[in-house]
C-alpha cells in the first residue's frame, strides 16, 4: 500500500501532445525504487516514440493514459509484465486508460536492455488503448491468468488479446513475435479452426485471431478498418462486419470474399496463396 501511495505522488514527468485536432496526455509515474533519470529515459525511449507512431498512422488513443512503472524488489524473483486497464471498463474515468509495466530491479536482470520484450509489450498495451478508444475493447476481466497465444480461453478474451497481438506486430512491422517466439503469419491456423474446428463459427485462441487479422490486413486492410468501427466484441462479430464491408468496396476489395467462398479452398495458407496470385496478376495487367 505504501509503495502505491508513493507512486501516486511521484513526479509528473511531462505531457506529450499527439495530433493537431486531438491530443493524448501521458501522466507518467514511477516506482520509488526507480530513479527519475531512468524513468525519464524509459518514457522518452519507449513510450513516446511508439505513441507518436500510432498517431502518425491514424490510430486513435484515449485522451489520457497513465503509465505506471513498477520495479520488482531485489529480494524477490525478477518479474517482467504489462497490463492495460480500459477507461470506463476497468477504471472509473471514461477518458483515462492505465498501463502498468513491471520491470526487474536494475541492474539485477538488465530488463531495460530487453528491447525485444519492451517494444512488443508497449505496442501490445497501446493496442488495447486503441481498441478502448474505438469502442471494441472487451475488457481485461474476460481473460484468465495466464493467457497466451495457443490457449483456448473464450471468444471475448481471444478477440481482445488477439487484436492486441496483431496490433503489436503491425507496429513492429513483422509477423514474428520476439517475446513469444512465434509467428502469427505461419504458426496459427485460423481458417480451419473457424470453419471446421471444435469452436466452429468463432475463435477462442488469441493467436488464431491475431493470425486472421494479419492475413486479412495483407489483402483488405480497408475492410478491417471499416469492420472495427462497428465495435465487434468477438471474432465472429468482426467476421460478419468484415464481409459486409468487403462487399461494399469495388472490386479489388471483394476479391477476398469471393476467394473464401470457393469450395475447393480448404486451408488458410491456400486461401492467401490464391489471393496473392490473383492480386499480382491484377496489378500486372494495369
Q: What is the per-residue pLDDT across 16-34, written as a single tens digit (0 to 9) for each?
A: 333 333 478 888 888 887 7
Is the pLDDT assigned to residue 202 strictly greater than 50? yes
State the helix-helix crossing angle for 155-172 and 235-248, rounded to 10 degrees: 60
For the segment 156-198, what is each residue's pLDDT rounded down to a tens digit?
999 999 999 999 999 998 899 887 889 999 999 898 888 888 8
Q: What whole-number percentage of the chain has pLDDT above 90?
A: 21
Please give the Cα distance from 48 to 50 (Å, whole number): 6
pLDDT band of residue 212 (cuts 50, 70, 90) is very high
- Please choose, from the candidates 161, 163, 159, the residue with its C-alpha nearest in 3D space to the C-alpha of residue 233: 159
Query: Which pLDDT score is estimated for 133?
Result: 87
Residue in the structure block whose three cell numbers are 495466464: 146
Query: 163 is written with which cell numbers?
Result: 487484436
Query: Which pLDDT score is estimated for 273?
Result: 32
- Please choose, from the candidates 208, 148, 155, the residue with its C-alpha nearest in 3D space to the C-alpha of residue 179: 148
Do the beta carbons of residue 137 and residue 119 sit within 8 Å? no
Report DSSP letters for 15-48, one per residue: ----SSS---EEEEEE-TTS-HHHHHHHIIIIIH
Alpha helix (H) residue ranges in 89-154 = 115-134
Query: Which pLDDT score is estimated for 258?
Result: 41
Please give the Cα distance from 1 to 129 (Å, whole number): 26
Please give the Cα distance from 71 to 104 (Å, whole number): 6
Q: Which of 51-60, 90-99, 125-134, 165-174 has the least mean pLDDT?
A: 90-99
Q: State whether residue 84 is helix, strand or coil.
A: strand
Please give the Cα distance from 85 to 97 (Å, whole number): 6
More confident: 66 or 34: 66
- Cα-based distances in Å from 226 to 27, 139, 172, 241, 243: 31, 21, 22, 8, 10
Query: 212 is written with which cell numbers?
Result: 486472421
Q: Is the pTM value of this prediction over 0.85?
A: no
Please give the Cα distance from 235 to 133 (Å, whole number): 18
Calculate the average pLDDT of the chain.
73
Query: 103 is written with which cell numbers?
Result: 520491470
Amino acid at each position: 500500500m505504501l509503495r502505491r501511495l508513493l507512486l501516486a505522488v511521484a513526479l509528473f514527468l511531462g505531457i506529450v501532445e499527439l495530433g493537431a485536432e486531438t491530443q493524448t496526455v501521458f501522466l507518467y509515474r514511477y516506482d520509488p525504487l526507480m530513479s527519475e533519470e531512468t524513468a525519464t529515459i524509459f518514457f522518452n525511449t519507449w513510450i513516446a516514440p511508439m505513441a507518436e507512431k500510432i498517431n502518425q498512422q491514424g490510430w486513435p488513443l484515449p485522451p489520457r493514459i497513465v503509465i505506471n512503472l513498477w520495479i520488482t524488489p531485489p529480494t524477490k524473483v525478477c518479474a517482467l509484465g504489462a497490463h492495460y486497464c480500459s477507461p470506463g471498463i476497468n477504471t472509473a474515468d471514461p477518458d483515462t486508460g492505465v498501463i502498468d509495466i513491471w520491470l526487474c530491479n536494475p541492474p539485477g536482470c538488465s530488463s531495460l536492455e530487453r528491447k525485444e520484450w519492451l517494444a512488443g509489450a508497449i505496442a501490445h498495451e497501446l493496442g488495447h488503448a486503441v481498441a478502448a478508444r474505438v469502442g471494441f475493447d472487451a475488457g481485461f476481466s474476460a481473460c484468465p491468468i495466464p493467457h497466451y497465444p495457443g490457449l483456448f480461453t473464450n471468444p471475448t478474451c481471444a478477440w481482445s488479446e488477439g487484436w492486441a497481438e496483431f496490433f503489436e506486430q503491425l507496429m513492429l512491422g513483422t509477423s514474428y513475435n520476439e517475446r513469444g517466439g512465434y509467428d502469427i503469419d505461419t504458426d496459427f491456423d485460423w481458417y480451419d479452426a473457424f470453419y471446421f474446428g471444435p469452436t466452429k463459427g468463432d475463435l477462442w485462441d488469441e493467436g488464431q485471431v491475431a493470425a486472421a487479422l494479419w492475413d486479412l490486413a495483407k489483402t483488405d486492410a480497408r475492410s478491417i478498418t471499416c469492420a472495427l468501427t462497428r465495435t465487434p466484441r468477438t471474432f465472429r462479430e468482426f467476421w460478419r462486419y468484415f464481409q459486409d464491408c468487403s462487399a461494399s468496396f469495388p472490386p479489388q476489395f471483394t476479391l477476398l470474399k469471393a476467394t473464401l467462398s470457393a469450395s475447393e479452398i480448404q486451408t488458410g495458407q491456400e486461401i492467401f496463396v490464391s489471393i496473392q496470385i490473383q492480386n499480382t496478376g491484377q496489378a500486372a495487367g494495369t
